[in-house]
Amino acid sequence: MNNRTLLVCITALFCVCAANAKAPQSRLKVLSLAFSGNSSFSDKQLQRTMVTRQSKLFFSQYFHQALFNHDLENVTLYYKENGFLDVHISDTSVAIDSAARKVSIRIAIVEGALYHVRSAGISGNSIYPDSTLLRLAAVGPGDIFRKNTIRDSLANITNLYTENGYLDARVEPVFSVDIGSHSVDVSIVIDEGAQFHLSQTIYKGLKRTKLSVVERELVLDREKPIAVSQLLRSQRQLYLTGLFQAVYIHPVPAASGDSSMKDILIELREEKAITLNMSAGYGTEEKARVRFEVTHDNIAGTARKIGCAAKLSVLQQEIEASFTDPWAFGIHLRTDVSAYVGFLEEPGYNLFRRGGKLVFGQALGDNLTLSLTTKYENADLSNIRVSAIPDTLTANVRSIMPAITYDTRDNLFNARSGVYLGWTNELAGAVFNGTNNFVRSIVSGKYFHSLRPPTVLATALEAGWIGSYGNSKEIPPNERLYTGGINSIRGFAYQSVGPIDNNGVPLGGMFKVVWNLVEIRQVIYKMVGMALFFDAGNVWANAGDFSFGSLRFSPGIGLRVNTPIGIVRSDFAINPVPQNTESWYNIGFNVGQAF
């Protein structure tokens, strides 16, 4: 598929989306939406509480009477939630222009007085003193009477009790409103209930999975009172095994009849053990591709996994067999073993490789992971198109790779918030033999922030270095660092940024920086979105050659379609300063976000 075809496809997709978005002629477009009488909150703040919105340049909004009536209730509720208990809407004006099929809306508000907390008290408590509970309540005399603050206070107090075995604790607010002084007396009434310990654990729904596999994931402490956080963490741990479609954990009365005890009922619905997956797609760099995979995710009920996957594309053909044990050697140490053989065609060479990897991974909490990988790979390079290197080359690598990652992203494939930090190192050769001795280190970071529900701000940075040592004087082409293309610096062709030979073939380098300075992702209509981005980076033959002045830049715009198989992405990026035979632009198409 050439660039012209891609442009035609993008244009057609935009036209389809526009046609689907076109509103029936009978609907009224909201021309304006304004408020009067509001001094405590701006028009913009109040509009955020409403479904009815004012139309913008490229986004039409339409009037629905039922939704508008509900919006008026939301505006009133917003004021009351923030201490304006006497607020009311004195008038609404809905002016309809029948000829233009447009409507102008004005809402008149009488805010009334702002109410404050006159007193705050606790009753019904015997386990914890008033002083402890009032600190958790975070509400006191003189504070604005905000109901969300009250709800947070109730949640904090409830959490204190349920984390210490008082599973039936009830915390309720009682308000006494004094209209004359515009104040509220707040009383938090507590029914503590009994403290419970764990009697026994009951399981339902287990068919294939061994009981020991479930028990090792639980974080219940029989020596201490039952804590709700332990139940939630146990539920999360069982979900993360990938063995269950549904997990429900909840306390029930003890079968023994002991009123100070609770049984924990764990209801499970298992996933299918054997899965067969097939996918097909198209990317600018790989062209047409297809992938087949068959896995058994629960061998003999032990949660061990075996699988075989085959990937076929115009440029790559590879088959891989794998085995995973999430609890190797009887401890929570994830172990992955894989063996692979494949062929890959790169711009500067063809690569035939076969080898295997052994990976040990250890999670330290919910977000931090340590891993150690050993790699044994034999590689034959042929048809090497770099003029300074022989036509064929053997590169047998024996290496060890320690890595650490920190990941708080809310979604691994289409993040809206969170941070990813990674540091991977590789030592090849030394006592591990092989034909090449080198050290590599790659540091990467990604940041995602949701500006508002349809808009995400993202940025990413990756820096890598590689160097030879000992008897090795050169790094083989397949181990060098490259950048450029649809997934890195998008205004350039694949691997084309950095050193090239006289024939324009990428040489790769010893140091690289890829900096996706900013990407703004915006939903424009249902499943369709767009992105504005600015990329920078380069590859240098040696780390000492790095300078900020030699960075290459690439701004661009892209289309995103959120499909059931993932984000389908097309990007148009500019190369502002083309060099040699470089194009001033690049168009790319792929599945998944760039980072």
pLDDT per position as a tens digit, 314-366: 999 999 999 999 999 989 999 999 999 999 999 999 999 999 999 999 999 88
pLDDT at 26: 66
Q: How far apart are CA 400 and CA 374, in angstroms?
A: 4
Strands 438-452 and 455-468: antiparallel
Q: 318 and 343 in contact (C-beta within 8 Å)?
A: yes
Kindly provide the b/e burial profile for residues 430-462, where b requires at least 16 CB atoms within 10 angstroms of the residue's own CB. Answer: eeeebbbbbbbebebebbbeeeeeeebebbbbb
- Provide the 3-class DSSP secondary structure of residue 549: helix
Q: Among 19-33, 72-86, 107-121, 489-503, which is the least confidently predicted range?
A: 19-33
Mean pLDDT over each residue of the chain, to the nearest integer: 92
pLDDT at 226: 97
- How is residue 393 written in tokens? 């080359």
Residue type, 477: P
- How is residue 515 written in tokens? 């900096």
Over 70: is that where the pLDDT of 6 sits? no
State mean pLDDT over 366-390: 92
Give the chain's domains with CATH numbers.
3-110 (3.10.20.310), 116-191 (3.10.20.310), 197-270 (3.10.20.310), 326-591 (2.40.160.50)
Spatial neighbors of 188 by CB under 8 A, at least 6 apart, are 120, 121, 122, 123, 133, 137, 153, 154, 157, 171, 172, 173, 174
Q: Among 2-16, 30-44, 194-208, 395-409, which is the least confidently predicted range?
A: 2-16
Give me Rg for the CA atoms of the chain. 31
Q: 220 and 264 in contact (C-beta within 8 Å)?
A: yes
Over 60: is that where the pLDDT of 311 sits? yes
The CB density around residue 65, as the number of other CB atoms within 10 Å, is 10
Q: What is the pTM of this model?
A: 0.81
Strands 29-36 and 102-110: parallel
Q: How far apart are CA 383 and CA 391, in angstroms?
A: 5
What is each CA distance from 359 to 5, 300, 378, in whole angstroms? 43, 22, 18
User: When comparing pLDDT for 387 and 270, which is higher?
Assistant: 270
